[in-house]
Structure 1
Amino acid sequence: MSIATVLGRNRGDRIAMVAVMLFALVWVLPLLWVLALSFKPNQVLQLGTAVWYEAPFTWRNYHDIVATSQLFRWIANSCIVALGQTVLVLAVSSLAGYAFARLEFPGRKLLFAAVLAGLAIPQAGYVAPLHRLFADWGLHNTHAALILPGVAAPFGVFLMSQYFKAIPIELEEAALLDNASRWTVFWKVVLPLSLPAQATLGIFTFLNAWNDYLWPVMSATQPAMYTLSLGLASMQTNFAQSEGLGFLMAQAVFAAIPVLVLYAFFQRHIVAAVAGGVR
């Protein structure tokens, strides 16, 4: 390989890196704008938001959150809903995915096709009958009503099924030859090998439940049962800029912290899951 080829490749790598950094900067700018506005006095923001990078700055908006807002109650509700939904989705999707990947039973292909068909149905298509169902059960304004609809996760079943199929079947056959039951094989052999896929599914499920708005706005009608997305939306009136845009931005920043921490902690599992799926 000639020196000119090496230099040309290095130059191309530098150009690609600069382009990626510029795209990342464009993506980060709105987040920096929200963060800066959260530290601005509301009196200044009444005149306009173009001065977001200039003094004065204040902690008043964050102080008001602690003193007057129901944000912590909404965050608690979102944590309960997102964590509960994540745990149930992982359990159901892992069991169903393993059944579709390894077990033979009548109607397996037809049932799997029906599960995949669920991916094509938008949430707005079934939210009305779902609301009627939970109304008949008397479950609205409860955590159960906010959690249970999300447990039916066709994407989770498909993801776990494809990941289980990628695991060498010889590992399971060796365990079965040692008189291990099918449940033992699943629990002690297959499930530990699927941790990257479970982490990925868990993150996607958590974020989807955390940011969901359509179902909570129909099911939770009492402010004490609002999730974070619904609670923040309830405060965004047409006069938000004159009544406290900085306060609203501070709530958005405060609410984003748990999601950022979760994603940073599990980021490597997403890469591992993608690499495992490619293999």
Structure 2
Amino acid sequence: MRTSLFDRVLLAAAIALAVLWMLPLAWVFALSLKSNAVLMERTDALLSTPFTLRNYADILANPAVFRWVLNSCVVAGVQTLLVLLLSSLAGYGFARCEFRGKRLVFALVLAGLAVPEPAVVIPLHRFFAELGLHNSYAGLILPRLAAPFGVFLMTQFFKAIPRELEEAALMDNASRWTTFWRVVLPLTLPAQATLGIFSFLAAWNDYLWPLISATRPEMYTLTLGLAATQTNFAQSEGLGFLMAQAVFAALPVLVLYAFFQRHIVAAVAGGKA
């Protein structure tokens, strides 16, 4: 089948937009390979020599970085798993179970999407301070487990799954939990991957709550720790080091996205991975 002129133009436009979107990322990566002394003179000669890995070496020279990476991995990983579990259970309940006040409760969950984060920072800070959970993994993870978007996403995905599959399992004497865990949940893998990458990205890049909850350097996440190492003149005298920090912090997210890319595309397209 010959490709129509419209399809070719559309493909060319998509490629052009992709290249345009990638240019800032390439610019950041190129700056990270330049010495700060060179960048103080000019920032336009990105493809010319010399290149250096000194900025990355300076990041790794700080022994606390490895602790910060560990903290970020623990916080983002555990938070993502718990968000997936809670959102899946809540989404299945809203999609398949009938109970009094169901519409009201679902509306309240969706109303959480409209609540700005700064509006709840002070109550959360006082609550976790009274519980003595600041400077702990629990204090960094628990406030982010409420995920209205995740509940909404999983509810809509469960509604799209034919009820006949569950009815067949229930007729074979499978319990509701077995039906959910072995029959229905595996079918939601594209939605799980999409929600997982969004949750991990939000947790990995979170700065406001760790800034409030983690006051000890050993409990810093990577985002907070790298920000703490920046000087007052980082954007002028340490631009290469600043860009290297951005690349270093973004690498785990890029790897995770590349690994789950086909599931995310399938979820957006409404198909199966």
Same fold (TM over 0.5): yes
Counterpart of 2:270 in 1: which secondary structure?
helix
Partner residue, 2:186: 192
Counterpart of 2:242 in 1: which secondary structure?
helix
Mapping for residues 82-101 of structure 1, pairs under 5 Å: 82-101=76-95
Partner residue, 1:169: 163
Pairing partner for 1:137 from 100, 120, 131: 131
Note closer, same or farther for the CA distance 1:136–1:127 as it changes in structure 2 (3 Å cut): same
Q: Is the 8 A contact 1:166 1:277 kept in 2?
A: no
Pairing partner for 2:253 from 255, 259, 262: 259
Amino acid at match of 1:143: Y
Counterpart of 2:238 in 1: which secondary structure?
helix
Mapping for residues 109-124 of structure 1, pairs under 5 Å: 109-124=103-118
- Measured after TM superposition, the shift of residue 210 of structure 1 is 0.9
Partner residue, 2:15: 21
Q: Is the 8 A contact 1:62 1:247 kept in 2?
A: yes
Partner residue, 1:226: 220
Partner residue, 2:28: 34
Counterpart of 1:46 in 2: which secondary structure?
helix
Partner residue, 1:68: 62
Q: Is the 8 A contact 1:163 1:277 kept in 2?
A: no
Q: Which runs of 4+ in 1 moved over 4 A?
A: none
Normalising by the residue count of structure 1, what TM-score does the alignment of the two structures yield?
0.91
- Measured after TM superposition, the shift of residue 15 of structure 1 is 2.4
- Measured after TM superposition, the shift of residue 208 of structure 1 is 0.8
Amino acid at match of 2:151: V
Counterpart of 2:166 in 1: which secondary structure?
helix
CA RMSD of aligned residues (A): 1.9
Q: Is the 8 A contact 1:216 1:226 kept in 2?
A: yes
Matched, 1:103 2:97: yes
Counterpart of 1:130 in 2: which secondary structure?
helix
- Measured after TM superposition, the shift of residue 158 of structure 1 is 1.0
Per-residue CA deviation, residues 103-144 of structure 1 (Å, 9 max, x unaligned), is: 112221111111111111111111110111001111111111
- Measured after TM superposition, the shift of residue 72 of structure 1 is 2.4
- Measured after TM superposition, the shift of residue 69 of structure 1 is 5.6
Note closer, same or farther for the CA distance 1:72–1:248 as it changes in structure 2 (3 Å cut): farther
Partner residue, 1:269: 263
CA distance in 2, matches of 1:175, 1:241: 60
Amino acid at match of 1:179: N
Partner residue, 2:44: 50
Per-residue CA deviation, residues 141-194 of structure 1 (Å, 9 max, x unaligned), is: 111111111111111111111111111101111111111111111111111111
Note closer, same or farther for the CA distance 1:76–1:257 as it changes in structure 2 (3 Å cut): same
- Measured after TM superposition, the shift of residue 271 of structure 1 is 1.9
Amino acid at match of 1:169: R
Amino acid at match of 1:154: P
Tell me whether 203-212 or 227-236 shows the greater mean CA deviation.
227-236
Normalising by the residue count of structure 2, what TM-score does the alignment of the two structures yield?
0.93
Partner residue, 2:120: 126
- Percent identity for Structure 1 against Structure 2: 69
Structure 2 unmatched ranges of 5 or more? none
Amino acid at match of 2:264: I
Pairing partner for 1:59 from 44, 53, 62: 53
- Measured after TM superposition, the shift of residue 277 of structure 1 is 7.4
Counterpart of 1:194 in 2: which secondary structure?
helix
The structure whose Rg is larger is 1
CA distance in 1, matches of 2:243, 2:65: 12
CA distance in 2, matches of 1:274, 1:109: 26
Note closer, same or farther for the CA distance 1:245–1:69 as it changes in structure 2 (3 Å cut): farther
Structure 1 unmatched ranges of 5 or more? 1-5
The alignment of Structure 1 onto Structure 2 pairs a total of residues equal to 272
Per-residue CA deviation, residues 34-57 of structure 1 (Å, 9 max, x unaligned), is: 111111122112223222222111
Counterpart of 1:246 in 2: which secondary structure?
helix
Matched, 1:151 2:145: yes
- Measured after TM superposition, the shift of residue 251 of structure 1 is 2.0
CA distance in 1, matches of 2:135, 2:194: 30
